[in-house]
Structure formats: structure tokens, C-alpha cells
Homo-oligomer: A and B are copies of this chain.
Amino acid sequence: MNAPAPSPETPRPAGEFDLIRRHFQRPGQPGAPGVALGIGDDCALLAPRAGHQLAVSTDMLVEGRHFLPDADPAALGHKALAVNLSDLAAMGARPLGFTLALALPDANEAWLAAFASGLFALADAHACPLVGGDTTRGPLNLCITVFGELRPGHALRRDAAQAGDDLYLSGRTGEARLALALLRGEAWALDTLGPLALKTRPELRQRLDRPTPRLALGQALAGLAHAAIDVSDGLAGDLGHILNASHLGAEIRLDALPVAPALQPLPPAQQEDCLLHGGDDYELLFTAAPDKREAIEAAARDSATPVTRIGCLMAPPGLWLVQADGQRRPVAARGFDHFG
């Protein structure tokens, strides 16, 4: 209140509250259904529809760990929210809103504007408003918590797979891993695809930077599929979480796995590694009873999401890969471990 009035030539440095208002409060937005009170008080107030539960997930993204220091801020805004929405999708929930806590080394206006544009484009596409947050100075760190609603008993839980279930995958895996290898200059990727691969195949970079959360599919599967998880640490590793929680084993048919065009020139071992252990895919991996095949096809069609049946679940523990020649071999359910 005692600060000198800013002049048009030399705007005073933006304070925390100014920054938040300028980039993250959007007074022109109509109130979202399910949000009784948004940004600006001690808490936001959410009102799920009567008879619905609230699904909650939180993810933290750290510079140097989850993204490079020179990451495009608009893509980062997209991805930070996308990975959280993907958790809602894997539960079968409909998005209600999200909170954002942001540590920034300095109040960089251009960075914030770009970050907010990427963030809100995805939020608007899924009617998922920002309802609260926190901003502080510190090493760049993004923490998003996302809220969704679903009917009790309809959640796609990891521990709900049944022996004999079909195993399904949305979209395809491996492109994000390949894009990361090309960015990092890993020889196995550069040798096969050449140094210009990221330029000539912009869809590869897109898969790494702007994953698509499979929300429509997840909601279509709620109450229909048994178990689901989103593939963030690699297909095999994330399937391992379902198998552990459900006390089951599984078989994946290698020739059933969809292979993106960019992965087709890779030698078989590298291709398989991308498909099974790539990570950052944000596809849905789910199980359903064999008598639900038509309903699953309809859910895929209605949500305009490609879905492939890639294997099945079995009572004996373990994860097996069935090759085109019929041979079975065990697969390590290894995933990415931040402290491994």
C-alpha cells in the first residue's frame, strides 16, 4: 500500500499476488460445475455430484529430473497437467479441477505467460479449472493435485484384475522413449533413424512433450473394465503394479503390440525395449472380462481412442512375453525408480 505508483515506462517488479492474479486468475471464466469456490480464499470448495466420490492424485515435476532446464514452458504447462489428468483417466474419473503449487527461481513474466497458456489450453479442453495454488521462490518445481469424481464401485483399481481377464492397451507405447533417446543423442536411436529424425517426425517430439490423457476412454471404462493403470514408467513395470496388487500373472503377445512407424526401423531388441520399458507414454493399460469384448470395442469407438487387446491375465504369478513363434520368455517388470 505504501509502494510508489508505477509509471507506464518502468512498471514495478511484479509481486507474488500480482503474478498469481495476472497469470492464473481468470475472472472471465464461468464457474465450473462442481467448483463452489475457486482461487482466492484459504481453501477452494468442491462439490462433487450427489452420490459421487472424489478421486485425488498429485504429481511433482522437478527441473533436471522430469524436464530439461530449457524445456518449452508451454509444453511444460501442458505436460504437468496431462500427467495428473492421466491418473484420473486411469481411475475412470471425470475431472473437476486442480491446484498448482509452483516454485520459481525468479518472477519471469514471459516464462509464466507461456507456461500458463499451455496449462490452460489443456485444462479448458477437459473443463478442469484451476481452483487454488501456491507460488514461492525456489528451484523450479511444479506440484499439481487434480480432483475428479466418479460413482462408488466404478473406480478402475489396480487390485481389481481377475484371472482370465483380457489385457488391453490404448494407443501405443515407445515413441516418447525414442524421442528422448534422440534428444539425448543416444547412439542406438541416432544410428537407425539419423540425426534429423526429430525434425522429420514432429509427432515423436509431440508424444514426449504433449502426452494426451485418455480421459474419455477412462470414463467409458468405469464400471466396465476391472483394473487399469496409466503407463508412465513403462508398460511392463506398470503392468507389474496391477499384477502385484491383484496377485496375478500375465502374458503379453509381442506381435499384438502396436508399433509406431518411427519404431519400425529399430533392431528388434531396441524396439522391444521401447515398447515394454519406454515410459512417459500416458496410455491406459487395463483388464476386462472376455465377455466384455464388444463393450470394450464400443467404449474405444465412443471415446475415439484406439484400443488393442495385447494379452491376458492368469493365476500363476509372473510376466511373460509370447513371441510370434510361440516361445514364452519372462519379462522383468522393471520401471523407472527415482532413487534406484
A residues with CB within 8 A of B: 1-2, 13-17, 19, 36-37, 40-48, 50, 53-60, 62-66, 87-88, 90-91, 93, 99-104, 106-107, 131-139, 141, 143, 145, 147-148, 150, 152, 155-159, 228-230, 240, 245, 332-334, 337-340
Q: Is B37 touching A155 in the complex (CB atoms < 8 A)? A: yes
> Are A135 and B338 neighbours in the complex by a CB distance under 8 Å?
yes
Is the beta-carbon distance between A56 and B19 smaller than 8 angstroms? Answer: no
List the 9 closest A-B pairs by CB distance, nearest first. A62-B138, A143-B143, A60-B101, A43-B55, A42-B90, A139-B139, A145-B145, A58-B99, A46-B54
Closest to A89 in B: B42
Residues from chain B with Cβ under 8 Å of A64 in the complex: 138
How many Å lie between the Cα of A13 and that of B145 in the bound state? Answer: 29
Pairwise interchain contact A15-B62, C-beta atoms closer than 8 A: no
Complex: how many Å from CA A40 to CA B90?
13
A131 close to B56 (CB less than 8 A): yes
Residues from chain B with a CB closer than 8 A to the CB of A136 are: 60, 62, 65-66, 338
| A16 & B338 in contact (Cβ 8 Å cutoff) | yes
Q: Are A43 and B134 in contact (CB under 8 A)?
A: no
Which residues in B have their C-beta under 8 angstroms from that of A240? 1
With A16-B339, A87-B43, A229-B42 known as contacts, the answer to whether A134 contacts B58 (CB < 8 A) is: yes
Tell me, rounded to whole Å, the shortest Cβ–Cβ distance linking A148 to chain B. Answer: 7
